[in-house]
């Protein structure tokens, strides 16, 4: 094939595949069978491999992924991507309407849209071609994820008009893609994603674009950046214009002449939302007229012309089939509700923690009861209450056992505790759960060692304590089910890498009673080496600001045990780091810092810093980072979707910062 013919054929196939893709992924009206589309795509891939000079950045073949990125570059948005204020009930919506009318000088029309539970992104097009895609970030600066966004087949790589514009939308993972992905993770013994939103965000931040391509993400576009330059006068017109250009918008939108119409629309979707094949967590209400939007303006964080109505937590009724007991790494026996599978807030729920015996009595739960279930924060399954009026007489009472369900030892309730506890240090369940804790993300962070793999290792007697993890060989691992050469190689590399962790991760991973992640960091900063900490007296430990009598006694008792000394020596022999590698507590830095001696609470989602990074930086500057808001709190740092902690801080009159202010002070 000569060059002219090859170029002509490649252009013909690109145009044809763009059209077929638009029909399939945007209109949901395919005009050719999947097999025909796949055949043409394979033909195009082969031609572009032979004649790479004719492959363009908007070719349908770029959706396959395969590029490996070094990092994500920062991108400054042309105009801020603001977050929306929230409404939780009809009164909040009416208050919003009153403020809008006051600002606009009279009645307005609204557009209601489904609030997709995904990741906000901006897409930039030059002369009709997709040239840049970015995350929302902190609203001003996001990350360049163009390569990953190109793998989403409902994003047009070439528009139907040669226009230059910026559009905004929500990338999301459909329920079917989410279920398929979590099933795959389950089979690999990996931690499943908590919800489709987290899965979508994680997929778009992969450095390997083929991973993003395999996740089958989708998108709805909801905003046009330079609408007025294009002669568009209202939000509803902007959405129609996006449709004409070939973008995928959500067709469930509705134009409303009054706030009462808005409330009717909202109430209708409270019941209908489970029927969608994607997750929504509310309804977005926007003033339709762009002129009125400009007149109303924005605050520092959100537009005055829009609000997000957040749905109440979805509650469903199911049957309590059984109560299962599990023994944790500290010996606590926890009852778990086994439920008839039911779909709640986007995922299938079959289990919910019942915490302790007192809660079971308080809720008067019996096996066989009809119960109301919800997800706290749309994430954690919870049994809300029982429906006693639906009892048939066949329900059975439940009582906690006298003996450990794993090892048969006596269960005891220690003074001041509600939990039953197994005190046998050789209880298999405690050893197994201790291993799971040791490899977890906030401890030694050994990727690939999920609960199922740990259970396999334990069942095959390959590990009995954490030191055994560092003695595993490729031959032993390859003999296990579902462990291929690549996964074994990756796992051994992750185990080897964990040896370099800073001391606080090892301390937290060892599971010393009363020593959480924060206390482990404090101890590591103060003593700097494992050897110094191991010989510290209770008095020396209690001299540290954040260590009380109970924790000091627990630490001293832990290191006094002969078995612990032997374990530490084994870990040293295996090559594990025993020193603190993080920033030291500097009296000079703390003295000059605005955070010195202050109690700070972090809440909501941070865009530029992870919660752990923010916490580490604050503690290095002398702050005490607390988990809850009280009268003793000095500053609350509120990220996106901050909830009850922010509300409490406002009620108490506590100083509230956003992430931008935090970064300014840190820098």
Domain match, 49 and 121 both: no
In a domain, 369, yes or no: yes
User: Which CATH number characterizes residue 43's domain?
Assistant: 1.10.287.610
Task: Tell me the two tokens of residue 428.
Answer: 């298999």
Domain match, 231 and 108 both: yes
**Rounded distance, CA 528 to CA 516, Å?**
17
User: Which CATH number characterizes residue 658's domain?
Assistant: 3.40.50.10190
User: Please, are residues 645 and 652 in contact by the beta-carbon 8 Å criterion?
Assistant: no
Lowest mean per-residue pLDDT among 292-301, 458-467, 483-492? 292-301
Sign of the torsion angle spanned by Cα atoms 177, 24, 62, 133: negative
pLDDT tens digits, 281-333: 899 999 999 999 999 998 867 899 999 998 877 788 999 999 999 998 888 99
Q: Using alpha carbons, select from 383, 325, 385, 387 the residue that is nearest to residue 349.
A: 383
Q: Which of 55, 115, 366, 426 is catalytic?
A: 115
pLDDT tens digits, 539-581: 999 988 778 888 999 999 889 988 889 999 999 999 999 999 8
Domain match, 104 and 233 both: yes
Domain-ending residue, one of 310, 326, 356: 310
**Rounded distance, CA 662 to CA 667, Å?**
9
The whole-number pLDDT of residue 462 equals 94
Q: Using alpha carbons, select from 476, 466, 574 the residue that is nearest to residue 512.
A: 466
Domain-ending residue, one of 385, 409, 433: 409
**pLDDT-based confidence at residue 588 (cuts at 50, 70, 90):** very low
pLDDT at 262 over 60: yes
Mean pLDDT over all residues of the chain? 88
pLDDT at 375 over 70: yes
Domain match, 334 and 254 both: no
Domain match, 230 and 319 both: no
Domain match, 179 and 38 both: no
Domain match, 275 and 142 both: yes
Structural domain of 596: 587-666
Q: Is 580 exposed, middle or buried (0-12, 13-18, 19+ CB in 10 A)?
A: buried
180 catalytic per annotation: no
Q: Using alpha carbons, select from 301, 319, 288 the residue that is nearest to residue 110.
A: 288
User: Please, are residues 333 and 420 in contact by the beta-carbon 8 Å criterion?
Assistant: yes
Domain match, 35 and 141 both: no
In a domain, 380, yes or no: yes
- Looking at the 3D structure of the chain, how many domains does it have? 4
User: Please, are residues 287 and 110 in contact by the beta-carbon 8 Å criterion?
Assistant: yes
pLDDT tens digits, 30-63: 888 878 887 888 889 889 888 988 888 888 887 7
The whole-number pLDDT of residue 346 equals 62
The whole-number pLDDT of residue 648 equals 84
In a domain, 421, yes or no: no
Domain match, 96 and 226 both: yes
- DSSP E strands, 558-640: 599-603, 624-626, 635-638
**DSSP tag of 182:** H
Domain-ending residue, one of 280, 310, 340: 310
User: What proportion of the chain, given as a percentage, has pLDDT over 90?
Assistant: 46
Task: Tell me the two tokens of residue 39.
Answer: 């055949």
Domain match, 97 and 218 both: yes
**Rounded distance, CA 386 to CA 318, Å?**
10
Q: Using alpha carbons, select from 588, 586, 608 the residue that is nearest to residue 664.
A: 608
pLDDT at 345 over 50: yes
Mean pLDDT of 85-100: 93
pLDDT at 68 over 70: no
Contacts of 213 (CB under 8 A, 6+ apart): 63, 64, 65, 66, 151
**Rounded distance, CA 190 to CA 184, Å?**
9
In a domain, 450, yes or no: no
pLDDT at 585 over 70: no
User: Please, are residues 583 and 616 in contact by the beta-carbon 8 Å criterion?
Assistant: yes
In a domain, 117, yes or no: yes
In a domain, 32, yes or no: yes
**Rounded distance, CA 46 to CA 40, Å?**
10
In a domain, 604, yes or no: yes
Mean pLDDT of 143-155: 93
In a domain, 205, yes or no: yes
Domain match, 183 and 48 both: no
Domain match, 214 and 123 both: yes
User: Which CATH number characterizes residue 403's domain?
Assistant: 2.40.50.140
The whole-number pLDDT of residue 70 equals 65
**Rounded distance, CA 517 to CA 614, Å?**
14
The whole-number pLDDT of residue 339 equals 95
Task: Tell me the two tokens of residue 522.
Answer: 């404090």
pLDDT tens digits, 390-438: 999 999 999 999 999 989 988 888 777 788 888 887 788 888 999 999 9
Helix, strand or coil for residue 348?
Answer: strand
């Amino acid at each position: 094939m000569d060059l002219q013919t090859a170029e002509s054929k490649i252009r013909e196939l690109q145009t044809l595949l763009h059209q077929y893709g638009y029909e399939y992924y945007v209109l949901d009206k395919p005009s050719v069978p999947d097999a025909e589309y796949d055949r043409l795509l394979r033909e195009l891939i082969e031609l572009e491999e032979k004649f790479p000079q004719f492959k363009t950045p908007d070719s349908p073949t770029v959706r396959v992924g395969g590029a490996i990125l070094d990092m994500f570059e920062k991108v400054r948005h042309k105009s801020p991507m603001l977050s929306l204020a929230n409404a939780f009930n009809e009164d909040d919506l009416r208050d919003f309407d009153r403020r809008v009318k006051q600002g606009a000088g009279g009645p307005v029309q609204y557009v209601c849209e489904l609030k997709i539970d995904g990741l906000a992104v901006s897409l930039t097009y030059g002369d009709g071609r997709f040239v840049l895609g970015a995350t929302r970030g902190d609203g001003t600066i996001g990350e360049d994820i163009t390569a990953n966004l190109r793998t989403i087949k409902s994003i047009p790589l070439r528009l139907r008009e040669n226009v230059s514009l910026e559009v905004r939308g929500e990338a999301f993972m459909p329920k079917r893609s989410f279920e398929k992905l979590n099933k795959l993770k389950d089979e690999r013994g990996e931690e499943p994603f908590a919800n489709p939103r987290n899965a979508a965000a994680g997929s778009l931040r992969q450095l390997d674009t083929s991973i993003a391509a395999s996740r089958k993400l989708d998108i709805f576009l909801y905003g046009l950046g330079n609408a007025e330059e294009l002669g568009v006068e209202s939000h509803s017109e902007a959405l129609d214009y996006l449709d004409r250009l070939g973008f995928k918008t959500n067709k469930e939108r509705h134009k409303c002449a009054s706030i009462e119409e808005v409330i009717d629309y909202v109430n209708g979707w409270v019941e209908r939302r489970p029927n969608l094949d994607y997750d929504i967590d509310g309804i977005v209400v926007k003033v339709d007229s762009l002129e009125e939007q400009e007149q109303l303006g924005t605050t520092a964080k959100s537009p005055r012309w829009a609000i997000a109505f957040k749905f109440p937590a979805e509650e469903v009724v199911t049957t309590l089939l059984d109560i299962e007991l599990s023994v944790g790494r500290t010996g606590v026996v926890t009852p778990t509700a086994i439920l008839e599978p039911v779909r709640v807030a986007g995922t299938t729920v079959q289990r919910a923690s019942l915490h302790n015996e007192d809660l079971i009595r308080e809720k008067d739960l019996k096996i066989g009861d009809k119960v109301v279930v919800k997800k706290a924060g749309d994430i954690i399954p919870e049994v809300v209450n029982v429906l006693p009026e639906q009892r048939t007489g066949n329900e059975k009472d439940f009582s906690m056992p006298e003996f450990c369900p794993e090892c048969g030892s006596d269960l005891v309730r220690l003074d001041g505790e509600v939990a039953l506890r197994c005190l046998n240090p050789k209880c298999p369940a405690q050893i197994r759960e201790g291993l799971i804790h040791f490899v977890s993300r906030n401890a030694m962070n050994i990727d690939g060692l999920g609960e199922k793999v740990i259970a396999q290792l334990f069942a095959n007697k390959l590990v009995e304590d954490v030191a055994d993890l560092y003695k595993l060989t490729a031959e032993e691992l390859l003999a296990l089910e579902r462990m291929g050469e690549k996964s074994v190689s990756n796992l051994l590399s992750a185990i080897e890498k964990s040896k370099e962790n800073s001391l606080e991760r090892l301390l937290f991973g060892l599971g010393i009673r009363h020593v959480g992640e924060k206390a482990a960091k404090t101890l590591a900063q103060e003593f700097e080496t494992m050897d110094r900490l191991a010989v510290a007296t209770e008095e020396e430990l209690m001299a540290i600001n954040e260590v009380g009598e109970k924790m000091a006694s627990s630490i001293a008792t832990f290191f006094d045990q002969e078995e612990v000394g032997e374990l530490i020596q084994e870990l040293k022999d295996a090559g594990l780091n025993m020193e603190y590698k993080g920033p030291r507590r500097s009296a000079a830095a703390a003295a000059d810092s605005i955070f010195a001696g202050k109690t700070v609470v972090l809440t909501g989602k941070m865009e530029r810093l992870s919660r752990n990074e923010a916490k580490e930086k604050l503690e290095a500057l002398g702050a005490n980072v607390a988990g809850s808001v009280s009268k003793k709190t000095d500053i609350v740092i509120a990220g996106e979707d901050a909830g009850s902690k922010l509300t409490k801080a406002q009620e108490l009159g506590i100083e509230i910062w956003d992430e931008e202010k935090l970064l300014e002070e840190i820098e």
